[in-house]
C-alpha cells in the first residue's frame, strides 16, 4: 500500500516539474526570446503518427481477415440475404471514407509538422469545396438510410396469415418455448398466473391454450414463414439467431415479434459446413445478469413434413400435468378431455 502511495507521489512530483518547465518555455516564447518553440519531441510525435497509421492499419486488416468467417456466418433465412447485402454496401462506402480520412489525418500530422522555415498558408474558405463535401455525404447517407429503412419496414411488416407462431419467453436465465398446437392459436397469458407449475403464466381458461405445448428446442420448418412472439418475464433479454440474421429484444410487459423464413434445414447446413455436429443457436444478446451465458437454445430446422410429424408427437401441457386445469369450469374441462383424447388417437 505504501509503495503504491509513494509511486503516485513520485509521478505527481515529476509531472509538476514537467509543467513548470513547460510554463517557463511558453513564457519565454511569449516574451519573444530566441529559444526554440519546438523541442525534439515534435519530430518524434510526427514519426509516431506514421508508426500508428501503419501499425494500427496493418493490425486492423490482419484481424479483419483472420476473423472473417466468425462474423460472416452462412445465411439461413430469406431476409438475411437482404440485410447482409445492405451491410456490405454500407461497409464498403463507410470503409472507403474511413480509410481515406484516416490516412490523410495521420499523413498531414507527419507532413506538416512544425518547421521554423515554413509558414502556414492563409486560406480562409472555399465555397465550392464546402458545397461538395456537404452535399455528397448528405446524398450518399440519404440513399443508405432510405434503403435501410425500406428493408427494415419490409422485414418487420405483419407476418403472413399462414405463419407458424411460436412463443419465446426469456427469463433469468433460460428461454421457454411454447407452441400453439393443432389450432395454430397460442392461448392467452397473464403474468399473475405464473406459478411453479405454470412458468409461462398460460391462461388455461382460454380454450386456445388447451392444446398448447412446450419444447426444449425450437423446431421450425424450412421454407415456411415462422413468427416468433417474444416476451420477457423479468428483465430485458434479446433473441439472437446469428445464422438467420435475427435480433429482437424481449421486453418485460411489452411483447415483441419477428417473422422470417428459414431457408436451410439443419441437415443441409451440416452438409454445407462439413460439420456433423452443427446446430443453429438461439442466444441472449442482452447482458441480463450473472447467468446470461447460459441462455442458449438449439434451433432445429426440419423439412415441412418432418415438422408436422414432430408437432403431432408432442404432449400438451395439460396432458403432462392435468392439475393445470383442476380449477376450470366443467365445460372447459370437458373440452380439454376431448382434446386430450383427440391427441392420443
CA 20 to chain centre: 50
Closest CA to 205 of 218, 190, 220: 190
Does the footprint of Cu ion cover residue 324 (CB under 5 A)?
A: no
Q: Quick one: which segment of 13-21, 230-238, 299-307, 325-333 binds Cu ion (CB under 5 A)?
A: 230-238
Of 200, 222, 231, 237, the one binding Cu ion (CB under 5 A) is 237
Q: Which is nearer to Cu ion, 190 or 234 (CB)?
A: 234
Cell numbers describing residue 177:
418455448
- CB under 5 A: which stretch of 63-71, 101-109, 141-149, 235-243 binds Cu ion? 235-243
Name the residue nearer to Cu ion (CB basis): 234 or 342.
Answer: 234
Q: Which is nearer to Cu ion, 115 or 294 (CB)?
A: 294
Q: What's the Cα-to-Cα distance from 62 to each of 42, 66, 69, 105, 107, rounded to whole Å?
A: 30, 6, 13, 21, 21
Contact between residue 305 and residue 170 where contact means Cβ atoms under 8 Å apart: no
Q: Cβ closer to Cu ion: 269 or 284?
A: 284
C-alpha cell at 337: 378431455
**Interface positions, 264-293, toward Cu ion (CB under 5 A):** 284, 288
Length of the chain: 345
Q: Which is nearer to Cu ion, 261 or 284 (CB)?
A: 284
With contacts defined by CB under 5 A, how many residues of the chain interact with Cu ion? Answer: 4
Q: Which helix (H) or strand (E) holds 339?
A: helix 330-344
- CB closer to Cu ion out of 162 and 290: 290
Measure the CA–CA gap between 218 and 30, rounded to whole angstroms: 73
Q: How far is the CB of 169 from Cu ion (least distance, A)?
A: 11
The answer to whether residues 181 and 207 touch, using CB atoms and an 8 Å cutoff, is no
Question: Which alpha helices (DSSP H) does 184-313 contain, by range?
Answer: 266-273, 304-313
**Contact 332/318 with Cβ under 8 angstroms?**
no
**Smallest distance from the beta carbon of 83 to Cu ion, in angstroms?**
23
Nearest CA to 163 among 265, 47, 258? 258
Of 221, 264, 245, nearest to 79 by C-alpha is 245
The span from the CA of 233 to the CA of 251, in Å, is 8
Q: Which of residues 295-314 bind Cu ion (CB under 5 A)?
A: 295
Least Å distance, CB 298 to Cu ion, is 16
Q: Which is nearer to Cu ion, 82 or 230 (CB)?
A: 230
The distance in angstroms from the start CA to the end CA of the chain is 76
Taking the least distance from each CB to Cu ion, the nearer of 226 and 284 is 284
- What x/- string results for residues 52 through 81 when contact with Cu ion is judged by CB under 5 A? ------------------------------
Nearest-5° Cα angle at 336, 330 to 341: 130
The residue ranges that bind Cu ion (CB under 5 A) are: 237, 284, 288, 295
Amino acid at each position: 500500500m505504501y509503495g503504491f502511495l509513494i509511486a503516485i507521489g513520485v509521478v505527481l512530483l515529476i509531472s509538476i516539474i514537467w509543467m513548470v518547465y513547460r510554463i517557463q518555455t511558453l513564457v519565454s516564447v511569449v516574451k519573444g526570446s530566441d529559444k526554440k518553440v519546438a523541442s525534439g519531441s515534435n519530430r518524434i510525435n510526427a514519426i509516431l503518427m506514421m508508426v500508428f497509421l501503419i501499425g494500427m492499419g496493418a493490425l486492423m486488416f490482419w484481424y479483419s481477415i483472420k476473423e472473417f468467417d466468425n462474423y460472416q456466418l452462412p445465411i439461413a433465412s430469406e431476409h438475411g440475404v437482404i440485410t447482409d447485402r445492405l451491410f456490405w454496401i454500407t461497409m464498403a462506402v463507410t470503409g472507403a471514407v474511413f480509410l481515406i480520412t484516416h490516412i490523410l489525418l495521420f499523413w498531414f500530422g507527419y507532413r506538416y509538422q512544425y518547421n521554423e522555415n515554413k509558414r502556414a498558408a492563409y486560406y480562409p474558405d472555399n465555397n465550392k469545396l464546402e458545397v461538395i463535401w456537404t452535399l455528397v455525404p448528405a446524398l450518399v447517407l440519404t440513399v443508405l438510410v432510405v434503403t435501410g429503412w425500406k428493408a427494415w419496414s419490409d422485414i418487420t411488416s405483419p407476418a403472413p396469415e399462414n405463419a407458424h407462431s411460436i412463443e419465446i419467453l426469456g427469463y433469468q436465465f433460460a428461454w421457454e418455448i411454447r407452441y400453439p398446437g393443432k389450432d395454430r392459436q397460442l392461448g392467452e397469458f397473464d403474468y399473475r398466473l405464473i406459478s411453479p407449475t405454470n412458468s409461462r403464466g398460460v391462461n388455461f381458461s382460454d380454450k386456445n391454450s388447451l392444446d398448447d405445448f412446450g419444447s426444449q428446442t425450437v423446431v421450425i420448418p424450412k421454407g415456411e414463414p415462422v413468427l416468433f412472439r417474444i416476451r420477457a418475464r423479468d428483465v430485458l433479454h434479446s433473441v439472437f439467431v446469428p445464422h438467420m440474421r435475427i435480433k429482437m429484444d424481449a421486453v418485460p410487459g411489452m411483447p415483441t415479434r419477428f417473422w422470417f423464413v428459414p431457408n436451410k434445414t439443419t441437415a443441409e447446413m451440416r452438409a454445407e459446413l462439413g460439420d456433423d455436429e452443427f446446430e443453429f443457436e438461439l442466444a441472449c444478446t442482452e447482458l441480463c445478469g450473472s447467468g446470461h451465458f447460459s441462455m442458449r437454445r438449439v434451433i432445429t430446422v426440419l423439412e415441412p413434413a418432418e415438422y408436422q410429424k414432430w408437432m403431432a408427437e408432442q404432449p400438451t401441457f395439460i396432458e403432462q400435468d392435468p392439475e393445470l386445469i383442476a380449477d376450470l369450469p366443467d365445460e372447459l374441462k370437458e373440452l380439454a378431455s376431448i382434446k386430450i383424447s383427440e391427441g392420443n388417437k
